[in-house]
Amino acid sequence: MKNYDLSELCFLIVDPNRHMRGLLRNVLHALGVHRIETTGDGGSGFTVGRKASPHVILAEWAMSPMNGLEFIKEVRANKRYPNPYVAVIMLTSYCERHHVIEARDASVSEFLVKPISVKALYDRIVEVIEFSRSYVISPSFTGPCRRRGPDSGYISPGRRQADREKEEAAAAGAKAEEEAAAMSQDEVASKLGKKTDDRRGGPR
């Protein structure tokens, strides 16, 4: 896999959990990202996104009053948003196949099940860089072309692991939420196997 210099990209994190926002910020810093905006809900995410015009959005599904899917649909369809073609990576604990299909139909670019790993997030970022899809603009849909099929571009946990591993992942996710605030940038960088002052590209 290629190493990309992500330093010129702007990321927007939209997640109601401040610990998760901090964890994602640390991961992105360790990957070499300098421009990072964060917010806790879809409504403010739309406002911040209009001002920052990020290249990539990391959005949690479970938010209120505007959930992640509603937020993404607003980004794609609202003429006030400067870049309806922005890459969106959906972060969620929902892992059933129908969730993947629903996210695809909401014009999500990539789908990542929590708890996330540094490598998994980097892999999704590379996906939206290397395999960006053509966009469709119609009265009923605005977003990446869906012709690759319901599972294309997404890695369903059911295809990778047994059901019992899903339960373990859910438990690990709860633990990760508790530990996220304590994870420093150095610790994230150590998971990448590099020093914090070496921030160009992705994991080696």
Cβ(55)–Cβ(10) under 8 Å?
Answer: yes
Please tell me the total count of domains within the chain: 1
Q: What is the band of 105 on the pLDDT scale with cuts at 50, 70, 90?
A: confident
Q: Do 157 and 166 touch, CB atoms closer than 8 A?
A: yes
- Residue 113, domain extent: 10-191
In this structure, is residue 204 part of a structural domain? no
State the pLDDT at residue 133: 52
**Taking 70 as the threshold, does the pLDDT of residue 201 lie above it?**
no
- CA proximity to 179, closest of 115, 91, 89: 115
The residue among 128 and 138 whose pLDDT is bigger is 128
Residue 200 lies in a domain: no
Percent of the chain past pLDDT 70, that is, above it, reads 63
- Asked if 45 and 59 touch (Cβ cutoff 8 Å), the reply is yes
**Any idea what the CATH number is for the domain that residue 154 is in?**
3.40.50.2300
Longest CA–CA span in the chain (Å) reads 48
* pLDDT tens digits for range 23-66: 999 999 999 999 999 999 999 999 999 999 999 999 999 999 99
Least confident span in 73-82, 92-101, 104-113, 159-168: 159-168
Instruction: Please indicate, yes or no, if residue 87 is contained in any of the structural domains.
Output: yes
Query: Rounded to an integer, what distance in angstroms lies between the CA atom of residue 123 and that of residue 134?
Result: 20
On whether residue 2 sits in a domain, the answer given is no
